[in-house]
Amino acid sequence: MPHVIVKMVEGRTEEQKRALADALASAVTASLDCGEDLVSVAIEDVRDEDWMASVYVPDIRQRSGTIYRMPGYGPED
């Protein structure tokens, strides 16, 4: 039962979020060969000025072993 959490900078419309959730559910269903009724998608809006401290550092940098696609940005190490 896959559950996908998307964190993104705020500003997208509810229509865009629904379209993203539907597309992700379809991709998960196709990739994992499971029923679409088993897939859930959550979307969390984050303020742009909070992104590095509340998402990049704890979710990307500190959990790099769980990231299968790294972003092309980040602070200098």
Catalytic residue among 2, 58, 71, 75: 2
Q: Is 60 helix (H, G, I), strand (E, B) or coil?
A: helix
Contacts of 20 (CB under 8 A, 6+ apart): 6, 12, 41, 43
Active site includes 2? Answer: yes
8 DSSP 8-state letter: E
Catalytic residues: 2
